[in-house]
Structure 1
Amino acid sequence: MKTFIRNNGLSICFFALFVATFVGQIIFGFKEHNKELIENGASSITLITYFSTGHFIESTFENWESEFLQMGLLVVLTIFLQQKGSSESKDFDKEEEVDREPSSSKKNAPWPVKKGGWILAIYKHSLTIALLLLFLLSFLAHFYGSLKDENEQLSLKGMPLEKASQYIADSRFWFESFQNWQSEFLSVFAIIVLSIFLRQIGSSQSKPVDAPHTKTGE
């Protein structure tokens, strides 16, 4: 068990933080939604019912969508773009290990590398494909949840409901998206630029403390 925790400490820590904060979101989102329902003259709902509401679906996938978009674009753009001095960038002045073609003779190479062909062709881009697919699925779930929440609110007010074809151009949906996207892009910009001049000893996201500001990559 100790070996498992040591080998997987980073993922365990972040997954535990995810679970803790997700539970917090559910608890306070449930209370907030019931408060809105009562203020609009409706009856409160149970926690189980809350999981199927647009309020829960929209608030969850709105955030997941922006995270996967951010990470997907970071993976893709670091292939082609450089930031001199940043630990988040490749050094284009020297050959990078990640640019070399995979070899099936390498010890402990993943099975797609040994298989070759179209499986390897997909595997070479599998990280980007997975992240962008997760973004697309989250985007669709966000749209569904946001539309459902909008119609739940319109129903409480006795107003006509919106169709998906109408809501895709609605300012609320795109406001929800852009307010999250911009914050994610700002955070990536911050780590790219700040890692040029600032250091954190012991972190893989930082250059060595005594490295010059012009050193690119970790």
Structure 2
Amino acid sequence: MRKFLREHSLTVVFGLLFLVALVGQFFAGHADFNERLSADGHPEIGLGHYLFSADFLVDVVENWQSEYLQFFLYVTATVWLVQRGSPESKPVGEAGAQTDEKQQLGRHVSDSSPRWARAGGWRTKLYSNSLGLAMLVLFLCSWVAQAFAGWWAYNGEQLRNAQPSVSLLDYLGAPDFWNRSLQNWQSEFLAIASMAILSVYLRQRGSPESKPVGASHSVSDRSG
């Protein structure tokens, strides 16, 4: 168990932090939601009711979809786009999908290569893009979940205010849906751009996301 935790500490720690933050969001969101209900003259709801409410779900998944969008764009855009001097980028002259030799494909596979990397044909092609595809699917699934949860939450708010409900299609064109989406997307785009340029000039000793402390600003390779 100790060896497992040491070898998977990054996933374990951030998985636990995720659960702690999610629980914290649940209690804080419940308190905030009840404050808004009380301010509007509506009765408060219990923790169980809030747990399965659209209001809690939409607050959760609207952040998930933006994170998966960030990773999808980052994984796929860095195939072709570069930032000179950033360890988040390939060297300027190496933009593109790279050769089979660099990707350890074709006659360059080894016995330890993943099975689908050794298989050839459509399986290798699919596996060659599986990370980006996985992030895209997770983004689309969480965005669809946000759309439905946002729609239910919006109609709940309409009902409490004695206003007519709207169809899902109408909600997809409503400011509420796009405000929830775009306010998260813009922060993710800013974060990617900031990391790409700041990592050219700043360092974090021991981090694989940083170049060696003494590496030149113009070098993109983490090895310096």
Change in CA separation of 1:115 and 1:170 when aligned onto 2, cut-off 3 Å: same
CA distance in 2, matches of 1:155, 1:25: 25
Confirm or deny that 1:205 pairs with 2:209.
yes
Q: Deviations over 1:89-115 (max 9, x none)?
A: 001436968953524741311121233
CA distance in 2, matches of 1:94, 1:148: 47
Confirm or deny that 1:73 pairs with 2:73.
yes
Amino acid at match of 2:168: A
Quote the residue 1:215 is aligned against: 219
Structure 2 counterparts to residues 1-218 of structure 1, below 5 A: 1-93=1-93, 99-100=102-103, 102-103=105-106, 105-218=109-222
Structure 1: runs of 5 or more not aligned: none
CA distance in 1, matches of 2:22, 2:165: 30
Give identity over the alignment, percent: 35
Amino acid at match of 2:166: E
Change in CA separation of 1:179 and 1:2 when aligned onto 2, cut-off 3 Å: same
Q: Deviations over 1:125-148 (max 9, x none)?
A: 000000011000111111111111
Amino acid at match of 1:100: Q
Deviation at 1:50, TM superposition (A): 1.3
Count how many residue pairs are aligned between Structure 1 and Structure 2: 218
Q: Deviations over 1:165-184 (max 9, x none)?
A: 11111111111111111111
Aligned partner of residue 208 in structure 1, secondary structure: coil
Change in CA separation of 1:191 and 1:81 when aligned onto 2, cut-off 3 Å: same
Amino acid at match of 2:147: F
User: Could you tell which deviates more after superposition, 40-49 or 54-63?
Assistant: 40-49
**Over aligned residue pairs, what C-alpha RMSD do you find?**
1.8
Structure 2: runs of 5 or more not aligned: none
CA distance in 1, matches of 2:219, 2:112: 31
TM-score calculated relative to the size of structure 1:
0.93
Higher relative contact order (CA 8 A, sep 6+): 1
